[in-house]
Structure 1
């Protein structure tokens, strides 16, 4: 089978009987070209199957239009929704997303990023607190622009997007109090990302503020099965909590299923639960989980808007407030 050869702008120009620059102006928004020339060029392009090489055009301006999305746990519902939103906004801004999976924090991550840099990506968006700081060091050294989401790292010239996690945790504690709960627990993973730890610290701080000791349990990855184990640990304690704030919704779903099916507890009559992220599953009739909604679309919009503006040496912090979504896993919700 012969190799497919891409049609060049010169071939279009020859077929249309115009200059090479006329073809370029035809496919450049706002450029001056007569109606007749435009018609001839478009007819020739359609007949030959010509498409503009935006990558080559961008490299002539020292811009590739490529943006690396550096992601861990990309198969989780929240992360998938964030990837979907960011990639959509990038496409609307005529940019292309290049996905780098960083589930393994070893040399393979650096090699994958170096490969992306070799394609002259303009920027990187780090969607997680998990990748090592050395990864963002590499981005900066390559001259990329940076957007850091839910990390505690500060970078000159970068946009740093964080949630007000501690404030949300305090709100969850007060919601439990108003529901008449007396024994409070926080269910976390062992991952230890800045956002997860901020929720834990905020919930414990609220307990101290109101003179209440908060039980903390941590286990495994931030996934459904870890919620099962956390429920087993918390609900077999001598003093069983009647209010559990989970670091994310996947933990909460695993915890709720275990509480109801293994321990025969009724939610919310025997146990109140709050999650975080507002993934699709939380609205299912099986859960009806009260949770905090991550402003996914706004995060994506702010990130892409920042990358579309002129580069600056000064960075910017953007802090967003997650909304509490009331459902049926808290009494009075």
Structure 2
């Protein structure tokens, strides 16, 4: 039975100058020990039905919540996963974070997100900050951490997972989409559509993903005896796609274009249409990522899809693998991609 209302009022007055309810507060109100409160909120721990009921009622009365951060500091298993990312407003990144954070929550883990947009000196300070929270793993979606900071993570039994990026000679898992294969598929599809005056559009960001896609596409086109017109400037935005369309289509009579991201492709499509180009009759366009907007009726963009569910599943699997110090087995995974045919490429000739 929970203590009297007088006792309850005393406890409320006692903590009036404090910021939160403690387990000790719950123990005093329920008339049990501090360890009984801990066992009540620990899955699988042994506690009698009567004690469990009294503790839960006291917790409800006081508004008590378990301090999971404190628990992680005294246990061998944290439920926090650090995530480092930049350009969080971009559709693909936003969707990736949305699915990963939800998947972590469903697995009993929490996402600790650090925005690397202003990390001009690299992401090492961000990772050092994350380590102070005793995280279970660190997922890097932007930037390339130096091997020294990754070694420090491993020494602290913190797994590092690099998504769509690589770090040479580093003790980190790497999970990347098949950018090279996807770019080659896009090149082959334009060639089969009869395109012979071909361009490739990227931004000036020079991220590993963009560079891989652009170089692989240009290489495949050159194997067919065609020199590509290349656009690689500006930010990775819809507006850059429009600018690229106006720049390339003014100086080149292109009949096929590969954009290394869908967001650039959507801007390119609108820019081309503003210039009177018919898609796909005059100009075929292919993107990469298959963001939701690509399927909109106003675009119906043909694109290379990387499975978000496969990516999320691989990250989760990496997080949940056991760490064994220097004996930890690293995973280097390349996720398959596929061409999604819609309406921006001419039929095969």
Compute the TM-score of the two structures, normalised by the length of structure 2: 0.87
What's the counterpart of residue 260 of structure 1?
273
- 2-structure distance, mates of 1:274, 1:3: 62
1:188 touches 1:246 (CA, 8 Å); kept in 2? Answer: yes
Deviates more, 1:297-306 or 1:267-276: 297-306
1:95 is aligned to 2:109 = yes
1:293 touches 1:325 (CA, 8 Å); kept in 2? Answer: yes
Shift of the 266–140 alpha-carbon distance from structure 1 to 2, 3 Å rule, reads same
Q: Which of 203, 223, 229 in structure 2 is aligned with 1:189?
A: 203
Cα deviation, 1:296-323, whole Å, max 9, x if unaligned, reads: 2221222122212211433111110122
Cα deviation, 1:147-197, whole Å, max 9, x if unaligned, reads: 101113245542200111111111111211222222211111121112111
1:168 touches 1:199 (CA, 8 Å); kept in 2? Answer: yes
- Quote the RMSD (CA, aligned, Å): 2.2
- 2-structure distance, mates of 1:154, 1:305: 22
Partner SS state of residue 250, structure 2:
coil
1:51 is aligned to 2:65 = yes
Segments of structure 2 that go 5 or more residues without pairing to the other structure are 1-15
Compute the TM-score of the two structures, normalised by the length of structure 1: 0.91
Segments of structure 1 that go 5 or more residues without pairing to the other structure are none
Instruction: Give the superposition deviation at 1:95.
Output: 2.0
- 2-structure distance, mates of 1:54, 1:105: 29
What's the counterpart of residue 33 of structure 1?
47
- 1-structure distance, mates of 2:45, 2:254: 67
What's the counterpart of residue 138 of structure 1?
149
What's the counterpart of residue 61 of structure 1?
75
What's the counterpart of residue 10 of structure 2?
none
Give the paired residue count: 328
2:260 touches 2:287 (CA, 8 Å); kept in 1? Answer: yes
What's the counterpart of residue 8 of structure 2?
none
1:330 is aligned to 2:341 = no
Deviates more, 1:72-81 or 1:28-37: 28-37
- 2-structure distance, mates of 1:139, 1:90: 22
Partner SS state of residue 18, structure 1:
coil
Partner SS state of residue 10, structure 1:
helix
Instruction: Give the superposition deviation at 1:208.
Output: 2.7
- What are the residue-to-residue correspondences of 1:57-136 with 2, within 5 Å? 57-107=71-121, 110-128=124-142, 131-134=143-146
1:159 touches 1:303 (CA, 8 Å); kept in 2? Answer: no
Instruction: Give the superposition deviation at 1:62.
Output: 4.4
